[in-house]
Amino acid sequence: MWVQVLNDRIDRIRENEKKSHTEIYQKETLYSSNTWLGKTIKTVKELVPYFEDYEIIRALDLGAGVGRNSIFLAEQFRDKDCRIDCVDLLDIAIDKLKQNAAVHSVDNSINGITQSIEDYIIAPDSYDLIMAVSALEHVDSEESFVSKLKEIEEGIRDHGIVCLIINSEINEINIETSQELEPQFEVNISTEKMKNMLSDVFKNWTVIKESVVNQKYEIPRDGITSRLTTNVVTFVAQR
Ligand SMILES: C[S@@+](CC[C@H](N)C(=O)[O-])C[C@H]1O[C@@H](n2cnc3c(N)ncnc32)[C@H](O)[C@@H]1O
C-alpha cells in the first residue's frame, strides 16, 4: 500500500518534469536562450584549469540535459582525448544533446546515454570528473541518493574531481493563498543533512568549493503561480 503511494508520487513528479523539460528543450536553443539553457554554469567553467595537464579525460555528466555543461567542457578539451558520458532519463534531452554536440563540432567527445541515474552503474575508478547539476535530487529515493553518492566517490580516479549542485530544503507555496504545495522534486533533504552526507562520503577529499545559496523563483503550476524557495548546495572536491 505505502509502496504504491510512493511509486505514484514519483510517477506524478516525473510526468510533470517530463512535460516542463520537453517544452523547454523543444523551444529553446542552447547558449542563445534567456532561460537557464543560455549559459554554462560558472562552477563548471572554473573546473577547466584542473585538467590543463591531462591528455586523456574521461568525464560523466549525470542528468546532463541537452549538454549545457558538457558541450562547453568538450569544447575546452578539444585538443585532448576527451569523452564525456552524458546520462539523462529523457529521449528528447539525449536527441538534442547529440544535435548540439554536432553543431558545436564535439560529437566525437559526447556520448549520450538514455538511462536513469539510478540505473546507470558507475564502474569503480573510471572517471576523472563526475558532475551532476540540478540532477541528483531527482533520483527516486533518499536511499538511491546515498548509494549514488558512494558510487560517484568510488568512480573517481586519483586527483579526479566531483562537482555537485543540488537543491535542498525545497518549499513551494501558492502565491495567492499561501497554501503549501508538494515540491516537484523526488528527493527533498534538509540542507544540514545534505552537507553532512557530502562531507561523510567525500571525507579526506580536498574541498575546492562549498556553498549554500538561497534562491526564490515564481513558477507557473497547474493554472496558478507558486513561489519555490530552495537552498542550492554546491560541492566541488578533489580526490
Ligand atoms: C534541471 S535539468 C539540468 C540539466 C543539466 N544538468 C544542466 O545543468 O543543464 C535536470 C535534467 O535531469 C534529468 N533527470 C531528471 N531525473 C533524472 C533521473 N532520475 N535520471 C536521469 N536524468 C534525470 C532531466 O530529464 C533533465 O534533463
The domain limits of the chain are 2-238
HSE at residue 122, side-chain half, CA atoms within 13 A, is 30
What residue owns the CA closest to ligand 1's atom 14? 63
Give residue-wise pLDDT tens across range 90-120: 999 999 999 999 999 999 999 999 999 999 9
The atom number, within ligand 1, closest to the CA of 68 reads 9
Pocket test of ligand 1: the residue of 26, 69, 90 to mutate, having most ligand atoms within 8 Å of its CB, is 90
The atom number, within ligand 1, closest to the CA of 41 reads 8
| C-beta 30 within 6 A of ligand 1 | no
Looking at every residue in the chain, the average pLDDT score rounds to 95
CA of 88 from ligand 1 middle (Å) equals: 6
CA of 177 from ligand 1 middle (Å) equals: 30
- Give DSSP secondary structure letters for 82-123: EEEEEEES-HHHHHHHHHHHHHTT-TTTEEEEE--TTT-PPP
| pLDDT band for position 3 (cuts 50, 70, 90) | confident
Pocket test of ligand 1: the residue of 138, 143, 184, 234 to mutate, having most ligand atoms within 8 Å of its CB, is 138
Give residue-wise pLDDT tens across range 88-97: 999 999 999 9
For domain 2-238, the CATH architecture is 3-Layer(aba) Sandwich (3.40)
- Matching residue, cell 539523462: 88
| C-beta 138 within 6 A of ligand 1 | yes
Q: Mean per-residue pLDDT for 134-147?
A: 96
Q: What dihedral angle (degrees, nearest 10) is formed by the CA atoms of 89, 127, 147, 65? A: -20
Q: Is pLDDT of 1 > 80?
A: no
Give residue-wise pLDDT tens across range 38-68: 999 999 999 999 999 999 999 999 999 999 9
**pLDDT at residue 106, rounded to an integer:** 98
* Cα gap 120→113, rounded to integer Å: 9
**pLDDT at residue 183, rounded to an integer:** 87
